[in-house]
């Protein structure tokens, strides 16, 4: 027996904690805390409950072990890898000849950089830019909003800067619950005397640590942020030198926020005017300030504008380009940043070169040795709509689960029924897989190796700790085999001949300027990883962005002036409540992984709809009663939890268990993100039987797929 301790990156959230897997001959024995690696994002080996339970989902009984082919919906037969690859490659080639844009590819923020690079390369070499991933549903507005103001869509600082800040403004996410290890740095700052401002419609675990707590209505963020900016400008608390030298658009901003007096903002948001004044003063005079956010800001029809305003707020206070300052969008999955960086987006190539820019395109045409489309592709949600119109006919889904993650599930399911051909590559059965024609069993993260980019732009190498089950194969291997079978057999970057993830990362080094110096050799030798941009092999990486100039065309921050818009759907007589979605610390996204972990399911067994005591009393609802949440899109059965933590008139529902059957798929016009965070609903008390009946109509988060003979 050779017992090993293998350093890996946690397969869950975007904090990107390191830990060791103890294994023997490829079998997992346990985990050990990485308290001996200086400089990683989780110092002293800290891990949240998900990180502590990482081995459980890998050992799930229903792991996919062989390629499958559908006989009818949800019923599969086992086939060989060679047959599976041949069939997928041939079908893709046919669509490519016929009309490349009839295909849609999904990358995954849950797998390494290398397969993500490959999936977009495959899509593009087959002639389409229809490639996207779940960042569309979480941080698309962060990418577009920050790009508009600063010129690029990434976190501008690191965890160390959060720790060193004097004031931290947390808006639109429950930091303590969604990223407990990241929240550590907020608490450390607070211990040093930093002030914490939290804005959230719910009084969360995070709000508990706030010095100033602003409880605004879901979807009224624009008014709230405009109100803060109003006070800061009115009282001349902004950084005049920074604004003069490094920003444009200040006058228009000042004019737009003029009417957002604290009194006016109080009327819209429900936050007392004096608290707005206090928050604005505290934030602007802190000297070093950080703003963090997540889905409460991004998942709105005005998500793009929300982010632009937060960036503007940070810029006018001069909180950019310095240590202890910056904006920190918190990413949900461990490789959201990497999947974006490597071009798993319909509008950009790796390194954010626009597909519509002839120069960038020419570079990749030469690099990959093929002609490329300059037409911006479809996003996740647009693709679902395009199926209905008959424009998209085939899906290649790598590690995604649109049936649970997309807004307005019923619509997505209707669309998936219409697809001609669907490939699903994943580690366990998902409700999306029921629609697949071919299922490709993938190795989980701990079962193969590669690089990942966490939320603070830190690229780390995760090593293989254990063996994959059955015939499951690494994602990079599957995509490169399909690439070769589709006829891309050229040498080097011109084809798909790779002997391992190292080869692929070297190709990424060659075509992605931000990753140029981040070689596999360096990552393997330096477990703490490297922050991009890292332009050369002797460059140490970059902690704080924009020290001298922003990445906009003129090098300045383009301040945003934004008029107030509320959510696309607001309460009315028929639907009197405002519904918002939340998450639990022990669960993660569509439950594909955490739902298969005994320790996590035991502690967070079911979703509960939070409702204010006064609302509950009016409706005759007690904690534990069954209710149904009804919106214009569907009905969702759930048990109620009566609690003072939500604002009156607001219902908060965790979304992991498929609550997207009721959410709104209205899109932000720029970021194309759906408004899952606010819509109108009504709440009706029901019996347990009624709930059971309704439950049958909601897709099961952990489905049983049937494997039949011959």
Partner 1 sequence: MARKTVFIDFSKCIECRACEVACEREHNGRSFINVFEWQEMAAMALNCRHCEKAPCLEVCPTNALYRDGDGAVLLAPQKCIGCLMCGIVCPFGIPELDSLDKIMMKCDLCAHRRAEGKLPACVETCPTDALLFGDFNDIQRMRRQKFTEKAIEIAKSGERIQFRGV
Can you tell me the distance from the alpha carbon of 283 to that of 289, in angstroms, rounded to the nearest whole number? 7
Shortest distance, CB of residue 52 to partner 1, whole angstroms?
4
Place of tokens 């007690």: 622
Residue in 6, 8, 17, 601 binding ligand SF4, rule: CB under 6 A: 17
Cα–Cα distances in Å, from 198 out to 233, 425, 620? 21, 39, 32
Shortest distance, CB of residue 646 to partner 1, whole angstroms?
11
Which option in ligand SF4, partner 1, none does residue 585 bind, with CB closer than 5 to 8 A by kind?
partner 1
Which stretch in 41-49, 419-427, 480-488, 609-617 sits in contact with ligand SF4 by CB under 6 A? 41-49
Shortest distance, CB of residue 610 to ligand SF4, whole angstroms?
20
Rule CB under 6 A: is residue 432 a binding residue for ligand SF4?
no
Residues ≥6 apart with Cβ < 8 Å to 680:
569, 570, 571, 572, 574, 575, 576, 577, 578, 579, 631, 632
**For ligand SF4, which residue has the nearest CB?**
51
Which option in ligand SF4, partner 1, none does residue 184 bind, with CB closer than 5 to 8 A by kind?
partner 1
Closest to ligand SF4 by CB, 14 vs 377, is: 14
Rule CB under 6 A: is residue 529 a binding residue for ligand SF4?
no
Which stretch in 6-14, 279-287, 397-405, 507-515 sits in contact with ligand SF4 by CB under 6 A? 6-14
Rule CB under 8 A: is residue 187 a binding residue for partner 1?
yes
Cα–Cα nearest to 203, from 138, 266, 268, 271: 271
Can you tell me the distance from the alpha carbon of 331 to that of 42, in angstroms, rounded to the nearest whole number? 15
DSSP three-state, residue 562: coil
Residue in 9, 47, 84, 199 binding partner 1, rule: CB under 8 A: 47
Shortest distance, CB of residue 125 to partner 1, whole angstroms?
43
Rule CB under 6 A: is residue 47 a binding residue for ligand SF4?
yes
Cα–Cα nearest to 318, from 559, 554, 561: 559
Q: Which of residues 125-184 bind ligand SF4 (CB under 6 A)?
A: 179-181
Cα–Cα distances in Å, from 208 out to 186, 191, 587, 604, 671? 13, 15, 21, 21, 32
Can you tell me the distance from the alpha carbon of 276 to that of 280, in angstroms, rounded to the nearest whole number? 6
Rule CB under 6 A: is residue 121 a binding residue for ligand SF4?
no
Which option in partner 1, ligand SF4, none does residue 16 bind, with CB closer than 5 to 8 A by kind?
ligand SF4
Q: Which of residues 450-469 bind ligand SF4 (CB under 6 A)?
A: none
Tokens of 291: 């703003």
DSSP three-state, residue 300: coil
Residue in 13, 48, 339, 518 binding partner 1, rule: CB under 8 A: 48
Tokens of 119: 């999936």
- 137 and 581 in contact (C-beta within 8 Å)? no
Closest to partner 1 by CB, 188 vs 565, is: 188
Site string for partner 1, 580-609 (x = CB under 8 A): -----xx-----------xxx--x------
Cα–Cα nearest to 286, from 403, 367, 166: 166
Which option in partner 1, ligand SF4, none does residue 547 bind, with CB closer than 5 to 8 A by kind?
none
Rule CB under 6 A: is residue 629 a binding residue for ligand SF4?
no
Cα–Cα distances in Å, from 116 out to 120, 263, 315, 376, 410? 7, 48, 33, 18, 28
Which helix or strand (DSSP H or E) is residue 578 part of?
strand 577-582
Query: Which DSSP string do the residues of 445-468 spell out, in sequence order?
Result: GGGS-EEEE-TTSEEEEE---SPP
Can you tell me the distance from the alpha carbon of 617 to that of 552, in angstroms, rounded to the nearest whole number? 53
Can you tell me the distance from the alpha carbon of 439 to that of 430, in angstroms, rounded to the nearest whole number? 11
Closest to partner 1 by CB, 410 vs 645, is: 645
Closest to partner 1 by CB, 205 vs 539, is: 205
* Strand duo 530-531 + 557-558: pairing: unpaired
Can you tell me the distance from the alpha carbon of 404 to that of 382, in angstroms, rounded to the nearest whole number? 16
Shortest distance, CB of residue 445 to ligand SF4, whole angstroms?
11
Which helix or strand (DSSP H or E) is residue 613 part of?
helix 613-619
Closest to partner 1 by CB, 183 vs 238, is: 183
Rule CB under 6 A: is residue 115 a binding residue for ligand SF4?
no
Size of the site for ligand SF4 (CB under 6 A): 14
- 364 and 124 in contact (C-beta within 8 Å)? yes
The sheet with strand 18-24 has its strands ordered as 3-9, 18-24, 27-33
Q: Which of residues 51-110 bind ligand SF4 (CB under 6 A)?
A: 51
Closest to ligand SF4 by CB, 10 vs 392, is: 10
- 168 and 189 in contact (C-beta within 8 Å)? yes
Shortest distance, CB of residue 524 to ligand SF4, whole angstroms?
20
Which option in partner 1, ligand SF4, none does residue 10 bind, with CB closer than 5 to 8 A by kind?
ligand SF4
Cα–Cα nearest to 229, from 245, 211, 207, 252: 252
Tokens of 134: 């779940």
Place of tokens 């698309």: 140
- CA angle at 433 for the pair 430 and 434, rounded to the nearest 5°: 110
Q: Which of residues 21-40 bind partner 1 (CB under 8 A)?
A: 30-31, 33, 35
Shortest distance, CB of residue 420 to ligand SF4, whole angstroms?
37
Which stretch in 47-55, 79-87, 547-555, 699-707 sits in contact with partner 1 by CB under 8 A? 47-55
Rule CB under 8 A: is residue 695 a binding residue for partner 1?
no
Residues ≥6 apart with Cβ < 8 Å to 51:
10, 12, 17, 19, 42, 181
Residue in 48, 423, 486, 666 binding ligand SF4, rule: CB under 6 A: 48
Shortest distance, CB of residue 539 to partner 1, whole angstroms?
31
Which helix or strand (DSSP H or E) is residue 32 part of?
strand 27-33
Residue in 159, 183, 283, 368 binding partner 1, rule: CB under 8 A: 183
Which option in ligand SF4, partner 1, none does residue 68 bind, with CB closer than 5 to 8 A by kind?
none
Cα–Cα nearest to 185, from 206, 199, 201, 204: 206
Task: Please state the separation of Cα 392 from the chain's center in Å.
Answer: 24
Tokens of 334: 């461990």
Shortest distance, CB of residue 651 to ligand SF4, whole angstroms?
27
Which stretch in 14-22, 104-112, 300-308, 420-428 sits in contact with ligand SF4 by CB under 6 A? 14-22
Rule CB under 8 A: is residue 644 a binding residue for partner 1?
yes
Closest to ligand SF4 by CB, 40 vs 504, is: 40
Site string for partner 1, 50-89 (x = CB under 8 A): -xxx------------------------------------
Rule CB under 8 A: is residue 259 a binding residue for partner 1?
no
Q: Which of residues 294-323 bind partner 1 (CB under 8 A)?
A: none
Closest to ligand SF4 by CB, 134 vs 247, is: 134
Shortest distance, CB of residue 42 to ligand SF4, whole angstroms?
6
Q: What residues make contact with ligand SF4 under the rule CB under 6 A?
A: 10, 12-13, 15-17, 42, 47-48, 50-51, 179-181
């Amino acid at each position: 027996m050779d017992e090993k301790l293998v350093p890996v990156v946690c397969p869950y959230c975007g904090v990107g904690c390191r830990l060791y897997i103890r294994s023997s001959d490829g079998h997992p024995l346990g985990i050990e805390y990485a308290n001996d690696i200086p400089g990683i994002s989780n110092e002293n080996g800290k891990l949240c409950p998900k990180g502590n339970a990482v081995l459980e989902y890998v050992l799930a009984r229903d792991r996919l072990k062989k390629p499958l082919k559908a006989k009818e919906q949800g019923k599969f037969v086992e086939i060989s890898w060679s047959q599976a690859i041949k069939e997928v490659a041939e079908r893709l080639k046919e669509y490519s000849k016929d009309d490349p844009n009839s295909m849609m590819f999904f990358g995954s923020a849950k797998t390494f950089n290398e397969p993500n690079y490959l999936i977009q390369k495959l899509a593009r070499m087959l002639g389409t830019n229809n490639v996207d991933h779940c960042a569309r549903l979480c941080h698309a507005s962060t990418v577009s909003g920050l790009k508009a103001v600063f010129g690029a869509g990434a976190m501008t600082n690191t965890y160390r800067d959060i720790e060193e800040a004097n004031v931290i403004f947390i808006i639109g996410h429950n930091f303590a619950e969604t990223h407990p290890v990241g929240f550590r740095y907020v608490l450390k700052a607070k211990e040093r005397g930093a002030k914490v401002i939290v804005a959230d419609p719910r009084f969360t675990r995070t709000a508990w640590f706030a010095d100033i707590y602003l409880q605004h209505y879901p979807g009224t963020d624009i008014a709230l942020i405009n109100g803060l900016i109003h006070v800061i400008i009115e009282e001349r608390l902004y950084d005049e030198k920074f604004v003069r030298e490094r920003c444009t658009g200040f006058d228009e901003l000042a004019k737009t926020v003029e009417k957002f007096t604290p009194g006016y903002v109080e009327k819209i948001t429900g936050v007392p005017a004096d608290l707005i004044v206090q928050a604005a003063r505290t934030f602007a005079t802190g000297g070093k300030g950080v703003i963090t956010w997540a889905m409460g800001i991004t998942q709105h029809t005005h998500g793009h504008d929300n982010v632009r305003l937060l960036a503007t707020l940070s810029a006018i206070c001069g909180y950019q380009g310095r240590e202890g300052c910056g904006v920190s969008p918190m990413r949900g999955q461990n490789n959201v940043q990497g999947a974006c960086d490597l071009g798993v987006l319909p509008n950009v190539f790796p390194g954010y070169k626009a597909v519509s820019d002839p120069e960038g395109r020419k570079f990749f045409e030469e690099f990959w040795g093929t002609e490329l489309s300059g037409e911006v592709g479809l996003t996740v949600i647009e693709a679902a709509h395009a199926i209905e119109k008959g424009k998209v006919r085939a899906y290649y889904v790598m590690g995604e689960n649109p049936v649970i993650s997309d807004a307005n599930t019923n619509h997505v399911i209707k669309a998936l029924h219409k697809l001609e051909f669907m490939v699903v590559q994943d580690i366990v059965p998902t409700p999306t897989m029921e629609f697949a024609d071919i299922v490709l069993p993938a190795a989980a993260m701990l079962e193969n190796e590669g690089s990942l980019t966490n939320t603070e732009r830190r690229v780390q190498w995760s090593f293989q700790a254990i063996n994959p089950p059955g015939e499951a194969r690494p994602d990079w291997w599957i995509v490169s085999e399909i690439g070769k079978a589709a006829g891309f057999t050229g040498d080097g970057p011109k084809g798909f001949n790779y002997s391992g993830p190292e080869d692929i990362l070297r190709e990424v080094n060659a075509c992605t300027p931000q990753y140029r110096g981040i070689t596999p050799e360096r990552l393997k030798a330096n477990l703490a990883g490297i922050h991009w941009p890292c332009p050369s092999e002797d460059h140490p990486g970059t902690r704080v962005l924009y020290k001298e100039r922003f990445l906009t065309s003129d090098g300045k921050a383009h301040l945003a002036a934004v008029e107030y818009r509320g959510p696309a759907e607001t309460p009315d007589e028929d639907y009197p409540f405002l519904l918002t979605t939340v998450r639990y610390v022990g669960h993660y996204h569509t439950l594909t992984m955490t739902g298969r972990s005994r320790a996590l399911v035991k502690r967070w067994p079911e979703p509960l709809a939070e409702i204010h005591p006064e609302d509950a009393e009016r409706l005759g609802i007690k904690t534990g009663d069954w209710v149904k949440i009804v919106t214009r899109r569907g009905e969702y059965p759930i048990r109620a939890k009566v609690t003072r933590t939500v604002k009156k008139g607001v219902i908060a529902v965790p979304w992991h268990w498929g609550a997207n059957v009721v959410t709104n798929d209205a899109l932000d016009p720029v970021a194309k993100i759906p408004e899952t965070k606010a819509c109108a609903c009504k709440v009706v008390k029901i019996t347990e039987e009624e709930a059971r009946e309704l439950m049958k109509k909601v897709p099961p988060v952990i489905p049983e797929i049937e494997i039949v003979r011959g």
